[in-house]
Structure 1
Amino acid sequence: MADTVELRGLPFPLSASHADVFRHDDQAGLVTATAPGHTDFYVNPAGADSADAETVVNAPTLLGLPPAGDFQFSARITVDFRSQYDAGVLMVWFDERTWGKFCFEFSPAGEPMVVSVVTRGVSDDANAFTVADRSIWLRVSRIDRVYAYHASTDGTTWQLIRVFTLGDQVSEHRIGFEAQSPTGDGCTVTFTDIRFVPDRLAELRDGS
């Protein structure tokens, strides 16, 4: 895969952080990623002496700079979950200490789960709900300087998961895809139904 990628339906190019991780098929309208083992984006809020998860910022990303203004960016994410915290992710990125992850992740209980992580210096971590299937639709919307995360089990009805900001420098925020396998030896993530709509979200709470 070339370092710079253009996907049908996305009005901006994407750049891959790692060679040979992401593949795309424009005819099929999909992106696949094979996450290497022990990869993640997480800045431990408890510091280096904590017994909790260590700080890791090495997961592969495929990111690009969207056009100015409001938008809705979504995809259906399918993960061949193997190990705890394996995930496919939609990402908003500014720098290594300022980013937001919207994850379809394998929970410690062995269940697929919608999870969000927002990092502003250090990371938080919020679980939303478990999913019976191994696929979910996730959407990132920008409204002025605010981002909203919505999830859907059918691609039609959306549930608000989170609203947050990464600061005023929205013109420098990149968006795209990430794949991770923090505790395992890798996983494969497939992104389909990829859409970018340069429209303002009409209703923040119900996602319509």
Structure 2
Amino acid sequence: MRIPTLPFDLLASEGSVWTATSSGIEGAAPAGTDLFVDPSGDSGVAAETLLNAHTLLGTPPEGDFTFAAEVTPDLRATFDAGVLLAWVDETNWAKLCFERSPAGEVMIVSVVTKGTSDDANGFIVNAPKARLRLARVGNVLAFHAHDGNGWRFVRAFTLPGAATEVSVGFEAQSPTGDGCRVSYADIAFERRTVADLRNGE
């Protein structure tokens, strides 16, 4: 798939369906879709399921960049989410989610996976959509979310091969629900360095 504002093509994961819209793209994740490997080892997603997750990914040009989109998910069930995804392979990836929490709140959530996943809540968003951003600075990746006034720092981290081998794109998920439709608008890519990861500028 080609999006005019991105300097790279996107490839959908097997079995996933993504459509172009007048403002961006839309995906509809089926029931039982997720990217998470439980650190306890009691449950989680097997590697073969990770590779069949509902994703749309492409390889950005070399160097520093920012990749952002306005994310509007139809959040009906716990952990339904629209996601920006950074992907190296089935054991190394990270996601920035606009997600429905178990308490019914709509939140910014992040997960970094290196073999197993962590899980970190960010902040509550009192709106049906959120602008999310992924940035690369050298071998560091950073997540930010816009609060209406400016970019709020979510986390900084690295993945093996983050400086050269990472793919970026979108994921839609509905691990406990009947499915989740997500639209992504105002998709933007800039070849620039975020000078201060803490304030996002």
Normalising by the residue count of structure 1, what TM-score does the alignment of the two structures yield? 0.91
* 2:164 partner SS: helix
- Which amino acid in structure 2 is aligned with residue 207 of structure 1? G
Shift of 1:20: 5.4
2:13 corresponds to 1:17: yes
Structure 1 residues 168-200: Cα deviation after superposition (integer angstroms, max 9, x where no partner): 453221000000000011011010010000111
**Are residues 1:150 and 2:144 paired?**
yes
Is 2:119 aligned against 1:129?
no
**Percent identity for Structure 1 against Structure 2:** 48
Q: RMSD across aligned C-alpha pairs, in angstroms? A: 1.3
Equivalent runs, 1:14-163 vs 2, <5 Å: 14-19=10-15, 21-25=17-21, 28-47=22-41, 50=42, 54-55=44-45, 57=50, 58-154=52-148, 157-163=150-156
| 1:105/1:169 CA distance change after superposition, 3 Å | closer
SS in 1 for 2:184: strand
1:173 alignment partner in structure 2: 166
Q: Is the 8 A contact 1:8 1:29 kept in 2?
A: no
Contact 2:16 2:54 in 1 (8 A): no
Deviates more, 1:74-83 or 1:167-176: 167-176
CA distance, structure 1, for counterparts of residue 58 and residue 118 of structure 2: 24
Residue 196 of structure 2 aligns with which residue? Answer: 203
Shift of residue 203, structure 1, vs aligned partner: 1.8
State yes or no: 1:186 paired with 2:179. yes
For 2:3, the equivalent position in structure 1 comes to 7
Give deviations 1:28-55, integer Å, cap 9, x for gaps: 23110101000000111111xx3xx533
Q: What is the TM-score when the length of structure 2 is the normalising length?
A: 0.94
Where 1:202 maps in the other structure, the secondary structure is coil
Q: Which runs of 4+ in 1 moved over 6 A?
A: none
Identify unmatched segments of 5+ residues in structure 1: none
CA contact (8 A) 2:78 2:176 kept: yes
Name structure 2 gaps, 5 residues minimum: none
- Whichever residue aligns with residue 188 of structure 2, its letter is R
Deviation string, structure 1 residues 113-137 (Cα, Å, up to 9, x no partner): 0000000010000000111111001
Task: Give the counterpart letter for 1:17 in structure 2.
Answer: S
Superposed displacement of residue 99, structure 1: 0.0
2:135 & 2:16 partners in 1: Cα distance?
A: 29
Q: Which amino acid aligns with 1:187?
A: C
